[in-house]
Amino acid sequence: MRNSATGKIMSSFTPNPDLDLVLVRESSVPPELVWKAYTTPELLEQWFCPRPYQAVEWEIELFPGGAFNSVIVSPNGQRFPGEGSILQAEPNRTLVFTNAVTRGFRPAPAPGEDGFAFTAIIRIEPNGTGSTYTATVIHPDAASKNKHESMGFYDGWNAAFDQLIELMTA
Amino acid sequence: MRNSATGKIMSSFTPNPDLDLVLVRESSVPPELVWKAYTTPELLEQWFCPRPYQAVEWEIELFPGGAFNSVIVSPNGQRFPGEGSILQAEPNRTLVFTNAVTRGFRPAPAPGEDGFAFTAIIRIEPNGTGSTYTATVIHPDAASKNKHESMGFYDGWNAAFDQLIELMTA
């Protein structure tokens, strides 16, 4: 048994290429501003989804078991509400959220045919005057990882992070 | 947005009778010994499953994202491995674990026909020289809660807690 420090598990996490997707980006945005962009509803609205999609109506409770909810709106106005939960929040360094459980650690209903469960582990590390951003997105099985990848994970998360950079360096 | 104190969400949790099962037991077992029984593999083997079933091969990492794994063995020797994760661990007071995510916060595969997702919130409060034990087991939907209840949740969790009392007062 190891000690009970919050965050212990993530410092030793090694991605599994069959199940996990990893995106690494270096930028001139300091850790504090990447964190702010990730945890402030008015900022998330402006970068979290690649345009012309937008994520709105954010509800964020920045503690383990707190909500991480938003509604994704398509260009033609279709709304896709998404509920999730924060699992870990270490300011300016680590944010872990998932759609496998919702507020209060309640398990989410099993995802439908087009959906998949995932947990996103966001690490932010100082790098000169900017930062290195690592998004590790982990899945229950290879089918879920493959679905996420073929839906455009890399293009989508890269485009979103470009929007974050644009927003936070404006 | 509320503050990031671990455990914040659970202090304000109100069960939903359509989705949640709640068991409350007062006993002469002090909080420290209920905690010890819940977090020590050799003790869990002796009480966690109502006899003649037994939960063995415990793997417990007592921090958020740590493993909460065991193998349930039936009287005729059938083995049912179960993987889960600790979500919150406040010594002698609160233990939250789930089968909806596994070690490292990886989402679990969707449960099969006979299974269901749940999160167990174990609260232990001092009560005289003993304690009050509250197990709140939350589910994604009414179907899961009903399945758990009809499989004998109350009989099973009561019998297990009887075994805990017997073990820790011996």
From the list B13, B89, B117, which residue is nearest A107 (CB)? B117
Residue A6 pairs in a beta bridge with: none
Q: Assess: ipTM above 0.90.
A: yes
Domain range B19-168, CATH architecture: 2-Layer Sandwich (3.30)
> Which residue carries 């820790």 as its tokens?
B168
From the list A65, A96, A118, which residue is nearest B9 (CB)? A65
From the list A10, A19, A105, which residue is nearest B87 (CB)? A105
Which residues of A are less than 8 Å from B148 in CB distance? none
Contact assignment for A2 to B61 by CB distance below 8 Å: yes
Which residues of A are less than 8 Å from B118 in CB distance? 107
Which residues of A are less than 8 Å from B114 in CB distance? none
Confidence of residue B114 (pLDDT cuts 50, 70, 90): confident
Distance CA A20, CA B7 (A): 28
Contact assignment for B64 to A63 by CB distance below 8 Å: no
Strands A101-102 and A106-107: antiparallel
pLDDT in tens, B39-60: 999 999 999 999 999 999 999 9
> pTM for the whole thing?
0.93
The pLDDT averaged over each successive group of 10 residues in chain A (170 residues) is 48 86 98 98 98 98 97 97 97 98 97 93 98 98 97 97 97
> Which residue carries 């099969």 as its tokens?
B112
DSSP H/E element including B170: none
How is chain B split into domains, by residue range?
19-168
Which residues of B are less than 8 Å from A58 in CB distance? none
Angle at B111 between CA A144 and CA B136, to 5 degrees: 120
* For residues B49-76, average pLDDT: 97
CATH class for domain A18-168?
alpha beta
Contact assignment for A63 to B8 by CB distance below 8 Å: yes
